[in-house]
């Protein structure tokens, strides 16, 4: 449509002044709504967690960590195929425990980039000026971070499983182990994503967020595993089980030992104490996840406004 200004200006010799209509139009196309915005935020955060859609430099670290995560699985599979082994040298569920440092580094490097930059450049109010609600923002970020972590923890398992089938290991046995490990990987992903995002959302500084997340993930583990060894040397096996409640990775270890047929990495390899111990572990994991969600919702109630 041609702007009406020309005609208005041409005809406007009679009046002295006039408010021109310069042809702005209202948007009357389809409005995609809240669900679409939520989905977009999820996809953008998930891609961002692997550096997709960001600069080449920011792809280096996540991709490298993903490669480091998959490399041992590839080697294990290659050895198993070459030597005609009867079974893989480790259980699927143990894999994430061996490489927990890599998972921790991934959470520490990517959780702050998911939330800290929005806080630092004060873009959070811009999100909330759209149909996106607080719950959408928090849920999208949590879901994206959990999915990114699930990719990181499940991909090496897929490599192991594919290799095990190629090496003609027992199908039912391998499928069972693989399925159990996928469940525990999902639980681990959600738990680590929750912990990482809560800590990262506290600070707009990326560098400090990285250090804080890794501290929360590794320091309790360092303390717990040291004290567990001491308790084990003193002969109190029950204490070893209960001590595991105090760090994220030992929580996952306990849950999968009790419910998912895993071998515990605790000293003495016993895992939590009996059925009650297992239930307490599961309850603590779920409480941590729910608590993190609640804390994030509280954090974003007043942010940047």
Between 25 and 57, name the residue whose CB sits nearer to other proteins: 57
User: Of 142, 237, 233, 229, which is closest to residue 193 (Cα–Cα)?
Assistant: 142
Rounded least distance, CB 57 to other proteins, Å: 7
Between 166 and 223, name the residue whose CB sits nearer to other proteins: 223
Maximum Cα interatomic distance, the chain, rounded to a whole number of Å: 102
Between 40 and 58, name the residue whose CB sits nearer to other proteins: 58
Binding footprint of other proteins on the chain (CB under 8 A): 54-55, 57-58, 61, 101-102, 104-105, 108-109, 202-203, 205-208, 210-212, 214-215, 218-220, 222-223, 225-227, 229-231, 233-234, 239
4 is written with which tokens?
């009406």
Under the phi-then-psi rule, with left for phi > 0, alpha for psi from -120 to 50, and beta for the rest, what region is 264?
beta
Residue 242, Cβ density class (10 Å: 0-12 exposed, 13-18 middle, ≥19 buried): middle
Rounded least distance, CB 253 to other proteins, Å: 17
Between 90 and 132, name the residue whose CB sits nearer to other proteins: 90
Between 79 and 230, name the residue whose CB sits nearer to other proteins: 230
Beta-carbon contacts of residue 22 (< 8 Å; ≥ 6 apart): 3, 5
Rounded least distance, CB 215 to other proteins, Å: 6
H-helix or E-strand spanning residue 204: none
Rounded least distance, CB 257 to other proteins, Å: 22
- The whole-angstrom separation of Cα 62 and Cα 82 is 30
Rounded least distance, CB 13 to other proteins, Å: 52
Rounded least distance, CB 62 to other proteins, Å: 11
Inter-CA distances, 173 with 26, 101, 128, 178, 264, Å: 62, 28, 49, 9, 19
Between 9 and 215, name the residue whose CB sits nearer to other proteins: 215
Between 113 and 174, name the residue whose CB sits nearer to other proteins: 113
Under the phi-then-psi rule, with left for phi > 0, alpha for psi from -120 to 50, and beta for the rest, what region is 297?
alpha
Rounded least distance, CB 45 to other proteins, Å: 16
User: Of 94, 99, 113, which is closest to residue 66 (Cα–Cα)?
Assistant: 99
Backbone angles phi, psi at 94, to 5 degrees: -80, -20
Rounded least distance, CB 12 to other proteins, Å: 48
- The whole-angstrom separation of Cα 273 and Cα 275 is 7
User: Of 146, 106, 119, 285, which is closest to residue 202 (Cα–Cα)?
Assistant: 119
Between 259 and 266, name the residue whose CB sits nearer to other proteins: 266
């Amino acid at each position: 449509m041609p702007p009406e200004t020309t005609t208005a200006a041409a005809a406007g010799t009679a009046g002295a002044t006039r408010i021109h209509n310069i042809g702005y139009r209202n948007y009357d196309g389809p409005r995609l709504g809240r669900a679409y915005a939520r989905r977009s935020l999820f996809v953008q955060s998930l891609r961002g967690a692997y550096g997709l859609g960001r600069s080449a430099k920011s792809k280096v670290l996540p991709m490298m960590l993903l490669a480091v995560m998959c490399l041992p699985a590839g080697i294990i599979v290659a050895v198993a195929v070459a030597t005609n082994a009867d079974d893989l040298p480790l259980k699927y569920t143990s894999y994430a425990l061996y490489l927990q440092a890599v998972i921790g580094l991934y959470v520490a490097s990517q959780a702050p980039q998911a939330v800290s930059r929005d806080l630092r450049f004060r873009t959070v109010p811009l999100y909330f000026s759209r149909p996106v609600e607080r719950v959408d923002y928090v849920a999208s970020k949590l879901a994206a971070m959990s999915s990114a972590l699930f990719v990181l923890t499940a991909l090496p398992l897929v490599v192991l499983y594919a290799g095990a089938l190629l090496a003609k290991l027992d199908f039912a046995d391998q499928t069972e182990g693989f399925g159990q490990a996928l469940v525990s990987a999902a639980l681990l992903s959600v738990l680590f994503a929750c912990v990482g995002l809560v800590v990262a959302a506290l600070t707009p500084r990326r560098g400090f967020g990285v250090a804080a997340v890794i501290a929360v993930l590794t320091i309790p583990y360092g303390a717990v595993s040291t004290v567990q060894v001491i308790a084990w040397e003193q002969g109190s096996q029950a204490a070893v089980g209960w001590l595991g409640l105090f760090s994220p990775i030992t929580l996952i270890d306990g849950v999968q030992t009790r419910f998912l047929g895993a071998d515990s990495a605790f000293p003495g390899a016993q895992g939590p104490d009996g059925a009650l111990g297992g239930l307490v572990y599961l309850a603590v994991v779920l409480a941590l996840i729910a608590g993190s969600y609640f804390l994030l919702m509280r954090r974003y109630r007043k942010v940047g406004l």
